[in-house]
């Protein structure tokens, strides 16, 4: 936990965490009993070694572990849970003079666990019961796990129950997601400043991280920092050191992490072009209308279809297409410019689990025809946190394909050429579903 919020108000964080842990214990107990296990052993994960090297890849803790504890930097630790008992945290603390060993945590969440320091895996095994035949292990299996005698590794039905339950966030999780948005909004403000000062993509990335107070490996995903045409590459991974000859636009999709929870925020800026700035403003209004559709009971597929229609109208108004909005929807012309889903579940993972699951037992809810990239098809429950991220882009590959088809005749190619140097526009907020309403964590963070 890096933010000052937890330091400023440790009592409220410990109260929130205690209620969160009770909820996690309760749903885990229900899932264990429904699937015939007595105990859960969850691994934090371990970073792989590079080939022929003694360096590890950066450690990323596994989400099923961090739902129990915000311990994001203690690889090879375990949580062991038996319903009705205090959970046990086996903290991996190697006796090793090359590295700094983790210290026993003394913070807002640590009293909720019995904590045992383990120098190695053998010590962790020794701290667990001899008979683990009715224990379910969750995590990436490691070599000696076969000799531990666990009943099952990542059993499908248990995982389905636990994954499904992660969609609706506890008040602690929503508070952590708001903090992640506060950090992310700080990063975005600094990034915009670096852009206006004529920084390269690399400079803008450094400004983002410095303002968040996070190292690159502490970010929830690789930031997408795209100047000009780069904005048309959906997951643009380059950070150019060179500055472009001319600055047109910045599309930045970058989030921060707090207590293991991610923000996922996109903003688009015009450098000095008033017409592109007006398009961004109009797109921002469209995005806010979509955010307003987030509420308990909403079917995410309907919100996606609504975004598809709204972007179709936008493209017509912006004179990018000559087809009516109805025709653009019917012929999937809009997909040339908007080839992704309106958003996804957000939480411990940027693309959080269980988005297309039919119910706690498993199964799948179909995506709508013609929308193969939608990551969420469920109805929203109270506390579900989603991203709302409409976008449109001038993507060479999709434009070339469209030019060869009848729909190509409905594209205003001169307008496309005029707008191509700007790459595209995406605006992305993190939104909580509530009964009859929503909370926009990102807008709250930007105005705090």
The residue within the footprint of Mn ion, chosen from 76, 229, 257, 264 (CB under 5 A), is 264
Give the residue nearest to ligand GLY (CB). Answer: 253
Quote the tokens at residue 355. 């988005």
Partner interacting with residue 76 (select from Mn ion, ligand GLY, none; CB below 5-8 Å by kind): none
> Which 8-state DSSP code applies to residue 128?
S
The residue within the footprint of Mn ion, chosen from 28, 200, 387, 430 (CB under 5 A), is 387
Quote the tokens at residue 385. 């946190």
* By CB under 6 A, residue 76 contacts ligand GLY: no
Q: Please, which residue, 206 or 350, has the CB nearer to ligand GLY?
A: 350
Distant-in-sequence, close-in-space partners of 428: CB < 8 Å, separation ≥ 6: 253, 264, 265, 266, 267, 343, 387, 388, 389, 442
DSSP string, 202-248: HHHHHHHHHHHT--GGGSSS--EEEEGGGGGSTT-----SSPPSS--
Q: CA-to-CA distance for 225 and 337, rounded, in angstroms?
A: 20
| Cβ contact 280:267 at 8 Å | no
E strand residue ranges, 63-189: 78-81, 88-92, 114-118, 135-138, 152-153
Paired strand residues for 262: 257
Quote the tokens at residue 84. 């009705």
Q: Please, which residue, 163 or 264, has the CB nearer to ligand GLY?
A: 264
* By CB under 6 A, residue 253 contacts ligand GLY: yes
Site residues (CB under 5 A) for Mn ion, limited to 28-47: none
| Cβ contact 245:271 at 8 Å | no
Task: Let me know if 234 is exposed, middle or buried by CB neighbors in 10 A (0-12, 13-18, 19+).
Answer: middle
The residue within the footprint of Mn ion, chosen from 163, 203, 253, 429 (CB under 5 A), is 253
The residue within the footprint of ligand GLY, chosen from 163, 264, 429, 439 (CB under 6 A), is 264
What's CA 322's distance to the chain center, in Å? Answer: 36
Site residues (CB under 5 A) for Mn ion, limited to 419-448: 428
**Long-range contacts of 227-231, Cβ-Cβ distance < 8 Å, separation of 24 or more:** 227/195, 227/200, 227/201, 228/421, 228/422, 228/423, 229/394, 229/420, 229/421, 229/422, 229/423, 230/201, 230/423, 231/268, 231/393, 231/422, 231/423, 231/424, 231/425, 231/426
Residue 344 CB, nearest distance to Mn ion (Å)? 6
Partner interacting with residue 221 (select from ligand GLY, Mn ion, none; CB below 5-8 Å by kind): ligand GLY
Residue 349 CB, nearest distance to Mn ion (Å)? 11
Site residues (CB under 6 A) for ligand GLY, limited to 386-445: 389, 428
Q: What are phi and psi of 361, to 5 degrees?
A: -80, -15
Site residues (CB under 6 A) for ligand GLY, limited to 199-238: 221
Residue 142 CB, nearest distance to Mn ion (Å)? 31
* By CB under 5 A, residue 287 contacts Mn ion: no
Q: Please, which residue, 21 or 386, has the CB nearer to ligand GLY?
A: 386
Size of the site for ligand GLY (CB under 6 A): 6
Partner interacting with residue 257 (select from ligand GLY, Mn ion, none; CB below 5-8 Å by kind): none
Q: Please, which residue, 92 or 267, has the CB nearer to Mn ion?
A: 267
Residue 252 CB, nearest distance to ligand GLY (Å)? 10
Q: Please, which residue, 203 or 428, has the CB nearer to ligand GLY?
A: 428
Residue 180 CB, nearest distance to Mn ion (Å)? 13
Paired strand residues for 225: 252
Could you list the residues that contact ligand GLY (CB under 6 A)? 221, 253, 264, 350, 389, 428
Could you list the residues that contact Mn ion (CB under 5 A)? 253, 264, 387, 428
């Amino acid at each position: 936990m890096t933010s000052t919020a937890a330091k400023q108000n440790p009592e409220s964080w410990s109260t929130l965490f205690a209620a969160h842990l009770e909820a996690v214990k309760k749903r885990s107990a229900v899932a264990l009993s429904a699937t015939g296990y007595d105990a859960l052993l969850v691994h934090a994960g371990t970073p792989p070694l590079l080939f022929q090297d003694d360096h590890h890849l950066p450690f990323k803790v596994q989400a099923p572990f961090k739902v129990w504890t915000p311990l994001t930097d203690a690889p090879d630790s375990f949580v062991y849970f038996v319903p009705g008992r205090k959970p046990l945290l086996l903290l991996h603390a190697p006796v090793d003079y090359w590295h700094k060993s983790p210290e026993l945590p003394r913070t807002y969440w640590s009293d909720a666990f019995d904590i045992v320091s383990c120098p190695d895996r053998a010590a962790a095994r020794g701290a667990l019961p001899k008979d683990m035949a009715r224990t379910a292990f969750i995590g990436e299996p490691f070599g000696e796990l076969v000799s531990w005698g666990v009943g099952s590794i990542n059993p499908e039905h248990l995982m389905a129950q636990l994954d499904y339950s992660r969609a609706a966030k506890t008040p602690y999780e929503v508070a952590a997601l708001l903090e992640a948005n506060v950090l992310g909004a700080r990063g975005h403000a600094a990034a915009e400043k670096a852009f206006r000062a004529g920084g390269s993509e690399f400079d803008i990335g450094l400004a983002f991280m410095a303002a968040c107070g996070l190292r690159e490996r502490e970010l929830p995903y690789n930031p997408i920092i795209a100047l000009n045409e780069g904005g048309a590459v959906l997951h643009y991974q380059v950070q150019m050191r060179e500055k472009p000859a001319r600055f047109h636009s910045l599309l930045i999709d970058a989030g921060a992490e707090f207590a293991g929870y991610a923000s996922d925020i996109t903003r688009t800026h015009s450098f000095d072009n008033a017409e592109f700035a007006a398009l961004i403003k109009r797109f921002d209004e469209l995005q806010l209308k979509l955010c307003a559709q987030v509420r308990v009971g909403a079917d995410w597929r309907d919100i996606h279809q609504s975004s598809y229609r709204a972007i179709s109208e936008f493209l017509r108004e912006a004179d990018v297409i000559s087809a009516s909005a109805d025709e653009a929807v019917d012929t999937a012309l809009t997909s040339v410019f908007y080839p992704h889903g309106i958003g996804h579940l957000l939480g411990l993972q940027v693309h959080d689990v269980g988005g297309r699951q039919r119910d706690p037992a498993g199964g799948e809810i179909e995506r709508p025809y013609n929308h193969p990239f939608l990551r969420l098809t469920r109805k929203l429950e109270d506390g579900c946190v989603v991203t709302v991220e409409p976008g449109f882009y001038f993507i060479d590959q999709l434009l070339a394909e469209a030019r060869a088809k009848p729909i190509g005749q409905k594209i205003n190619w001169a307008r496309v050429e005029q707008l191509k140097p700007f790459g595209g526009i995406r605006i992305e907020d993190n939104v909580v579903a509530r009964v009859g309403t929503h909370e926009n964590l990102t807008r709250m963070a930007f105005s705090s």
